[in-house]
Structure 1
Amino acid sequence: MSSLDWLNGQAFTAFGQHVIYSDIIGNTIGLAALALGWRRSILTWPVQVLSGVVLIGAYASAQLAGGVGKQLLVVFVALWGWSQWRRGKQQARDGSIAVRFAGGRERGMLVAGTALGTLAVGGLFTLVPSLSWNPWPDAYIFVGTLAAMTAQARGLVEFWFAWLLVDIVGVPLAFSSGLAFSGLVYVVYLVLVLWGLRSWWLRTRQNTAGTPAGRETAAEGALP
């Protein structure tokens, strides 16, 4: 048996749902990536890439072309985020990434981009049913995930709010769809999101209180 066959093999059955190894491993690695994001470690990005690659195998084994396409895009955004943090890493005194709240224009662009993106992707999923069996919630979660990753790449605290909004829909949707394992993963994500939000928020207050204005501005400017 090859490694790919093993990854796409059935691990166990829960609540009548067959859970394969690649689904378990990919989502577990995704949790690790989020935890590293909370720590502001640049390793969050290569770990996200690895999670996406494993989940591509999971969707491919289930012959879900839409899922494969979405994970490919997630991998692409993760690679971009990795390059952004590599450019900004040298500006941080402790080796981590400086974080900040978005400005009004940045927030407006994130909200508008997420709304327009959800409409566009939801419309596409509706026109091509093979891409998604639940087009609008799926589009919302997908675009919200990309918005969160984009905000994370820029070191914005709003990254966590975006993840929180994704989880609010993702948790009940997964359980109601019979995806017990995915629902459990989303619950753990929710805990990590709240923890990470608190950490990044406190970090911005420490920066404001303890960092000279010029140095803080330089750190923020490292993530264009």
Structure 2
Amino acid sequence: MTSLNWLDSEAFAVVGQHITWSDLIGNLIGLLALALGWRRSIWTWPAQFASGVVLVAAYASAELGGGVGKQLLVIGVALWGWRQWTLGRQRAQDGSVAVRFATWKERGLLAGAAVVGTLAVGGLFTLYPSLSWSPWADAYIFVGTLVAMVAQARGLVEFWFAWLLVDVVGVPLAFSSGLAFSGLVYVVYLVLVLWGMRDWWLRSRTPVLEGAPA
């Protein structure tokens, strides 16, 4: 029994699914992070960091090394994204983080990284089944999440398209696996993604002020 065991204890049950505190807290903070990202708030990154820390603690308590490793990478990207937005010099006219569409070169790099990353991680999960219960789907969602975070850190509208592609797999996978709560969370993610995509799309047409203070 460790001080982290409470994270694996049951918070409540819904439609026959037992929801742990770590699942509940991690998902709620994740939803908050996405909402803050839609608002282009720098606090999206501390929220993503906090969500990762909660899940690392939960996976460590449950002795799931694969989950710990994945969340540590998410935490690392969150810290990098936080630094990117903190040091950014371009601001929109309202003082928020400026957003734009990626160049074709950037899109190619993101797509290439997603494909290579999914093949590499999926292969690793296949070789070591203990790291994931669904190797290729898990790899797709994990790598897609990292790609989305990188695009978000760069202020790219494609960030939302990456999240949309993750949700397209995440929603049906969660429900078909009997994970109703996670499936409902992904549905909320989908709504926020569509809303955020529209907002960033419109914001990408807003002129930026060069040299504005960070």
Task: Mark yes or no: TM-score above 0.5.
Answer: yes
The amino acid across from 2:46 in the alignment is P
Find the aligned partners of 1:92 and 1:24 in 2 and give their Cα distance.
Answer: 35
The amino acid across from 2:8 in the alignment is N
Give the root-mean-square deviation of aligned CA atoms: 2.0
Aligned-pair identity in percent equals 74
2:32 counterpart residue number: 32
Consecutive unaligned residues in structure 1, runs of 5 or more: none
2:185 counterpart residue number: 185
Residues 89, 95 of structure 1: 8 Å contact kept: no
1:49 counterpart residue number: 49
Find the aligned partners of 2:124 and 2:22 in 1 and give their Cα distance.
Answer: 27
* In the alignment, structure 1 residue 125 sits paired with structure 2 residue 120: no
TM alignment of 1:101-116, pairs within 5 A? 101-116=101-116
1:16-70 residue CA offsets vs partner (Å, 9 max, x unmatched) = 3321111101110000000000000000001110011111223233332211111
1:173-207 residue CA offsets vs partner (Å, 9 max, x unmatched) = 01111111111111100000000000000111233
TM-score by length of 2: 0.93
Consecutive unaligned residues in structure 2, runs of 5 or more: none
TM alignment of 1:83-162, pairs within 5 A? 83-88=83-88, 91-162=91-162
The amino acid across from 1:122 in the alignment is G
1:9 counterpart residue number: 9
TM alignment of 1:206-217, pairs within 5 A? 206-207=206-207, 211=208, 215=209
Bigger relative contact order, structure 1 or 2 (CA pairs below 8 A, ≥6 apart): 2
1:90 is displaced (CA, Å) by 6.6
Find the aligned partners of 1:6 and 1:51 in 2 and give their Cα distance.
Answer: 16
Residues 20, 58 of structure 1: 8 Å contact kept: no
TM alignment of 1:55-74, pairs within 5 A? 55-74=55-74
The amino acid across from 2:22 in the alignment is S
Residues 4, 58 of structure 2: 8 Å contact kept: no
Give the number of equivalent residue pairs: 213
TM-score by length of 1: 0.89
User: Could you say which structure has the higher helix fraction?
Assistant: 1
2:164 counterpart residue number: 164
Q: Secondary structure, in 3 states, of the residue corresponding to 1:205?
A: coil
